[in-house]
Amino acid sequence: MGIKFKVSVLILAVCNIVCGELPEYYFKSHNVVPDVIERWPDTMASVVYSNRAVATKGHELTPSQTKTAPAVKWNAFPQYYYTLAMVDPDAPSRVTPIYREWLHWLVINIPGDNVAAADVIANYNGPSPPKNTGLHRYVILVYKQPGRINFNELYLDDTNPSKRANFSIAKFARKSNLQVPPVAGDFFMAQYENNK
């Protein structure tokens, strides 16, 4: 019985790796790599919305479940600063992503994982996929910064949403000298929701 049990555990461990218990599997199988980033994050982030909806590994959530900013946690070190971003590479649709990527959230200078103590560049803007555009991917990424970033560009408010179009988190990471690949990340899917 002992040998059979050990073999079963080994088979289960191998299956978990092969079947995708690693970020690489999820990010590549949903084409987040290469549509958004060139390499998958080192680990999965924990993304939990206030109504306990959990954004994880491409599962579908609704826009009403995700209308307020989630709590995002990762293996952070308190002495480092981090950048957190959420983008939609499928704007206005996955078939015609002419606004890829739509910036939904951008926060820099996060001490450890204390998002509340950071600098918000773009306020959280929950998913609102247009009607008849299918599922959209909402990608949440965390990057380690080389130090505190002095941001000299325009902070985005909600008065002009078109400025969120055609953002690239990969380009932002290069420009800001963020550590690549991201240290953590996750993503979920959402589609149009008729709230009537």
Give the start-to-end residue ranges of the domains of the chain.
2-190
pLDDT tens figures, 30-77: 999 999 999 999 999 999 998 788 888 999 999 999 999 999 999 999
pLDDT tens figures, 96-146: 999 999 999 999 999 999 999 999 999 999 999 999 999 999 999 999 999
**Which CATH number, 3.40.50.920, 3.30.365.10, 3.30.460.80, 3.90.280.10, labels domain 2-190?**
3.90.280.10
Q: How confident is the model at residue 19 (pLDDT cuts 50, 70, 90)?
A: very low
pTM surpassing 0.75? Answer: yes
* Mean pLDDT, range 79-108, rounded to an integer: 97
Q: Where are the alpha helices (DSSP H) in 36-81?
A: none
Can you say whether the dihedral through the CA atoms of 71, 182, 141, 43 is positive or negative?
negative
Q: How many residues does the chain have?
A: 196
pLDDT tens figures, 134-185: 999 999 999 999 999 998 776 777 777 778 999 999 999 999 999 999 999 9
Q: Are 46 and 72 in contact (CB under 8 A)?
A: yes
- Residue 86: predicted pLDDT: 98
Answer yes or no: is pLDDT of 24 > 80: yes
Answer yes or no: is pLDDT of 14 > 90: no
- Residue 3: predicted pLDDT: 62
- Residue 2: predicted pLDDT: 53
Which tokens hold the place of 173? 């990471």
Where would I find the beta strands (DSSP E) of 60-167?
71-73, 81-88, 102-111, 119-122, 136-144
* Mean pLDDT, range 78-100, rounded to an integer: 97
